[in-house]
Amino acid sequence: ITRRDFLKIAAVTGGVAAASTPVVKSVLALGKKPVSLPQYVPTTCEMCFWRCGVIAKVVDGKVVKLDGNPLHPNSRGKLCARGHGGIGLLYDSDRLKTPLINTGSRGEAKFKKASWDEALGYVADRMQKIKEKYGAESVGLLTHGTVSTYFMHLLQAFGSPNFAMPSFALCRGARGVAFELTFGEDVGNPERLDLQNSKAIVLIGSHLGENAHNSQCQEFAEAVGKGATVIVLDPRFSTAAGKAKYWLPIKPTTDLAILLAWINIIINEGLYDKDYVAKYTTGFNEVSQAVKEYTPEWAEKETEIPAGRIVETARVLGKNKPNVLIHPGRHTAWYSDNVQRQRAVAILTAILGAYGRPGGIYLNPKKKLEPVFLSDKDYPEPQKPAINKGNYPFAGEEGVTHAIVKATLTEDPYPIKAWFITGTNIMKAMPNQRDTLNAVQRLDLLVAVDMMPYDGVMLADVVLPECTYLERHDDFFTVKERSFGISFRQPVVQPMYDTKPGWWIAKELGKRLGLEEYFPWNTFDDFLKAKAEAWGIDYAELGQKGYIDFPESAKPYLSQGEDYKFKTPSGKIELYSNELKKHGFDPIPKYTKHEQPSEGWFRLIYGRAPVHTFSRTTNNPSLWELMEENVAWINAKVAKRMGLKHGDYIVLVNQDGVKSNKVRAKVTERIRPDCIYLVHGFCSTSKLLHRAYLRGADDQQLITKYAIDPISGSVGMRVNFVKITKEV
Ligand code: MGD
Ligand code: SF4
């Protein structure tokens, strides 16, 4: 749909959902002659966390097509395959359809159907008993996605400070910490990358195209089309590497070496942006001194990239400054030095003058709206501090998931006796599944709020089925693209089966826990209307368009000679970090060596496929058809040596003797001989998932070891070695 077409449609049919959303009694057969005109309802995608604007085409109460909202900057009229696959999620016959209570032992998944009243009453009763015996903080929450808003609210009202999301320690936390230390702010989500104007782009393991984030892929394609020079550092010849002038097949764990060498060359050869560095940064002299030892020849030995290539690519960056983008990545939980690697990315960005410049990282839009909370009532002061706090000085507000697992296992600093798992598959998201399972056995209560019976849900005592994002309202999404905007999620169809929105489940549970004052609205629609009013936004217009933009808020670039105060303690970009020094960490990144696989062993690396998001889409009928299972990438020479053919089934065994499910070998020149690569999220162990059950190999099962970054608590998961066996 083009912007013009959509505006025409919106004018005619907008507000459908708010006015009279069609009730789905049964799934209509496609191809049946429609009895009513199609309705077009804008909403926001949740098939991944890019949160694109969607226009749903609804015919006779059935969603028949999803398109990108042309008004929304994250979609620009297009959706990725997973966005289109939202229909598959909605109509997946394996969906959770009713509340369930496990009548067997923990994890036995002997579920009986329950009414909402029975299931919520059961949970509330157990929670009160746990609170009486151990204190409110003994209830922990592992959560991801929009459902988090309501359950974090409920938990805090209940009196517990213990929650964590995989999006910090297992994903982008290290990047956030590094950029906050350097620039005083994170690069945002979606990242504020001015790809469309970049003349040189460096991708450090960021496999754009395979790791599909809609507008980012669109801008990358645009930059490539305009002739940007792409440099890819990846042990695997990724799809993006196919668009690159330079593919540098770096030895895993050594990215920091090349980054430091680049900084050294750029300073040494005077290729940095001198005016920018003088005006906006502190600590340049200290950095210049510190990187002297990181010569291209030294870096060649570490990275196995020829010194000449390192110099040549450094010059490409220097020549194209400031219109260069050193992509800060997203899933940066790789090794034990994630923050320092990301600090090097930030320092390189700064000396090239690329922060707040065209083609680099654009500035945050200038718009602030006063927060409107789910209730005005203050949360009770927790009796004990959050278990997340203290161990990692720069851990973010989203918390560290492994702290909850560890405290549950050890009861140190105090027992955790109940877990809520909402919108996260604990078995696939967190490493060391044995620890997760042992922790689960120590609980008195495990509650899952999910849409699908994924692995983690099968461990629950009580399962509360949430409806999908196409069937519910959620809180507004503030979008910080080049300009500021608000994205709206509204039901496109009514919830199917006996499923409920997350806000409803939290509110009803709150009621049963005597916390109704924290939910002072009847429906979420009422809350959103009040919020829109407080923000001076036309709610009806938002319902019709799905996205409202504030174009006056855009201020993407620094103007010539502008005085700009960064939000760091010094007000400058801190190349040398006093904050890190104060806490006993290196103020300038120092290279550290990591363990390498010995003969016959391979480093297990993992990534994404464009048609799947983590584990959550592996059972989706539309997306499963596009990719039913993952394959193990193996270098062709290694395969020959082992007598393996493309398509053969193999089993991977890790250093702790853990064996994977059988998986097909993808024999290819496109990977270094010392690595094996898997797409993350496959091989569900849930028998209730007819498509995803035991399909492919689970990378997480093989990740029994992890390395924690002491600065942020970020969890390095690429530290496991595997052997290949043909025994299946
Ligand atoms: P999924 O495995 O997709 O991802 O970790 P998770 O967010 O746990 O599990 C999502 C679960 O949420 C599924 O059970 C799904 O059905 C449910 N769900 C999806 N949408 C909704 C919803 O709207 N409501 C409710 N109630 N439930 C919903 C992701 C995490 O994993 C992240 S962010 C990263 S970056 C890491 N990636 C990663 C990796 O690449 N490799 C390895 N080995 N581990 C990783 N762990 C991290
Ligand atoms: Fe949905 Fe794809 Fe956008 Fe993610 S990138 S929000 S899956 S359309």
- The CATH number given to whatever domain includes residue 516 is 3.40.50.740
DSSP run (H or E) holding 605 = strand 602-607
Which DSSP category does 211 fall into?
B
Q: Are residues 136 and 215 in the same domain?
A: no
Residue 10 has pLDDT above 70, yes or no: no
Strands 721-725, 602-607: pairing kind: antiparallel
Instruction: Give the Å distance between the CA of 565 and the centre of ligand 2.
Output: 34
Answer yes or no: are the C-beta atoms of 473 and 82 closer than 8 Å: no
Measured distance CA(520)–CA(374) in Å, rounded: 8
Supply 134's token pair.
Answer: 């151990």
- Mind listing the pLDDT tens digit for each residue in 281-340? 999 999 999 999 999 999 999 999 999 999 999 999 999 999 999 999 999 999 999 999
8 in any annotated domain: no
Measured distance CA(697)–CA(695) in Å, rounded: 7
DSSP per-residue letters across 668-716: ESSB-TTEEEEETT--B--TT-TTTBT-S--HHHH----EE-TTT--EE
Measured distance CA(487)–CA(481) in Å, rounded: 12
Residue 574 has pLDDT above 50, yes or no: yes
617 CA: nearest ligand 1 atom: 3
Measured distance CA(715)–CA(337) in Å, rounded: 10
- The CA distances from residue 654 to 632, 681, 703, 704, in Å, are 14, 17, 8, 8
371 in any annotated domain: no
Measured distance CA(446)–CA(459) in Å, rounded: 8
Q: What is the mean pLDDT of the chain?
A: 95
* Mean pLDDT on 478-505: 98
Task: Return the closest-CA partner of residue 494 out of 32, 13, 25, 15.
Answer: 25
Pocket probe for ligand 1: among 144, 509, 618, the residue whose CB has the most ligand atoms within 8 Å is 144
Ligand with an atom nearest the CA of residue 69: 2
- How confident is the model at residue 25, as a pLDDT? 33
- How confident is the model at residue 1, as a pLDDT? 60
205 in any annotated domain: yes
Whole-angstrom distance between the N-terminal and C-terminal Cα of the chain?
48
Q: Are residues 506 and 446 in the same domain?
A: yes
- The CA distances from residue 695 to 278, 610, 619, in Å, are 55, 18, 10
Q: Are residues 225 and 336 in the same domain?
A: yes
Which has more pLDDT, 249 or 16? 249
* 141 φ/ψ angles, rounded to the nearest 5 degrees: -130, 125
Measured distance CA(621)–CA(85) in Å, rounded: 8
- Identify the band that residue 27 occupies on the pLDDT scale cut at 50, 70 and 90: very low
558 in any annotated domain: no
Instruction: Give the Å distance between the CA of 421 and the centre of ligand 1.
Output: 11
* Mean pLDDT on 546-568: 97
Measured distance CA(139)–CA(164) in Å, rounded: 12
Helix (H, G, I), strand (E, B) or coil at 96: coil
Helix (H, G, I), strand (E, B) or coil at 175: helix
- How confident is the model at residue 23, as a pLDDT? 30
Answer yes or no: are the C-beta atoms of 60 and 424 closer than 8 Å: no
- How confident is the model at residue 4, as a pLDDT? 59
Atom 12 of ligand 1, nearest CA residue: 423
- The CA distances from residue 321 to 14, 21, 149, 194, in Å, are 45, 52, 41, 13
Amino acid (one-letter) located at 198: S
Helix (H, G, I), strand (E, B) or coil at 320: helix
Atom 26 of ligand 1, nearest CA residue: 450
Provide the domain limits for residue 626.
602-725
Residue 157 has pLDDT above 60, yes or no: yes
Measured distance CA(96)–CA(100) in Å, rounded: 9
Which DSSP category does 119 fall into?
H
Answer yes or no: are the C-beta atoms of 97 and 27 closer than 8 Å: no
Supply 719's token pair.
Answer: 């530290």
Atom 1 of ligand 2, nearest CA residue: 83
Range of lowest pLDDT (16-30, 113-127, 499-513) = 16-30
Residue 652 has pLDDT above 50, yes or no: yes
47 CA: nearest ligand 2 atom: 7
- Identify the band that residue 342 occupies on the pLDDT scale cut at 50, 70 and 90: very high
Cβ(83) to ligand 2 under 6 A? yes
313 in any annotated domain: yes
Answer yes or no: are the C-beta atoms of 275 and 284 closer than 8 Å: no
Instruction: Give the Å distance between the CA of 174 and the centre of ligand 1.
Output: 18
Q: Are residues 138 and 239 in the same domain?
A: no
Helix (H, G, I), strand (E, B) or coil at 324: strand
Range of lowest pLDDT (11-20, 137-146, 203-212, 699-708) = 11-20
Cβ(51) to ligand 2 under 6 A? yes
536 in any annotated domain: yes
Q: Are residues 392 and 346 in the same domain?
A: no
- What is the maximum span of the chain, computed from C-alpha positions, in angstroms? 74
Answer yes or no: are the C-beta atoms of 154 and 506 closer than 8 Å: yes
- Identify the band that residue 8 occupies on the pLDDT scale cut at 50, 70 and 90: low
Ligand with an atom nearest the CA of residue 689: 1
Cβ(79) to ligand 2 under 6 A? yes
Please tell me the pTM assigned to this model. 0.95
Task: Return the closest-CA partner of residue 111 out of 122, 102, 120.
Answer: 102
Q: Are residues 325 and 436 in the same domain?
A: no
- Burial classification of residue 117, based on how many CB atoms lie within 10 Å of its CB (0-12 exposed, 13-18 middle, 19 or more buried): exposed
Measured distance CA(172)–CA(189) in Å, rounded: 9
Residue 9 has pLDDT above 60, yes or no: no
- Mind listing the pLDDT tens digit for each residue in 425-454? 999 999 999 999 999 999 999 999 999 999
Ligand with an atom nearest the CA of residue 76: 2
Cβ(466) to ligand 1 under 6 A? yes
Measured distance CA(281)–CA(234) in Å, rounded: 30
Answer yes or no: are the C-beta atoms of 470 and 491 closer than 8 Å: yes
57 in any annotated domain: no
Supply 234's token pair.
Answer: 């990846």
Residue 165 has pLDDT above 60, yes or no: yes
Last residue of a domain, one of 553, 582, 611: 582
Residue 12 has pLDDT above 60, yes or no: no
Measured distance CA(454)–CA(298) in Å, rounded: 47
Amino acid (one-letter) located at 316: V
Instruction: Give the Å distance between the CA of 356 and the centre of ligand 1.
Output: 32
Answer yes or no: are the C-beta atoms of 506 and 120 closer than 8 Å: no
CATH at residue 635: 2.40.40.20
Q: Are residues 126 and 203 in the same domain?
A: no
* Mean pLDDT on 497-509: 98
Residue 96 has pLDDT above 70, yes or no: yes
State how many domains the chain has: 3
Sheet (strand 324-326) strand order: 246-248, 229-233, 200-204, 324-326
211 in any annotated domain: yes
Please give the ipTM for the structure prediction.
0.94
Measured distance CA(320)–CA(675) in Å, rounded: 33
Measured distance CA(570)–CA(566) in Å, rounded: 8
Q: Are residues 148 and 261 in the same domain?
A: no
Instruction: Give the Å distance between the CA of 252 and the centre of ligand 2.
Output: 29
- Mind listing the pLDDT tens digit for each residue in 31-90? 556 778 899 999 999 999 999 999 999 999 999 999 999 999 999 999 999 999 999 999
- Burial classification of residue 99, based on how many CB atoms lie within 10 Å of its CB (0-12 exposed, 13-18 middle, 19 or more buried): buried
Q: Are residues 681 and 614 in the same domain?
A: yes
Q: Are residues 520 and 667 in the same domain?
A: no
Q: Are residues 512 and 396 in the same domain?
A: yes
- Identify the band that residue 29 occupies on the pLDDT scale cut at 50, 70 and 90: very low
- Identify the band that residue 662 occupies on the pLDDT scale cut at 50, 70 and 90: very high
Atom 8 of ligand 2, nearest CA residue: 83
Q: Are residues 298 and 421 in the same domain?
A: no
Residue 616 has pLDDT above 50, yes or no: yes
Measured distance CA(568)–CA(573) in Å, rounded: 7
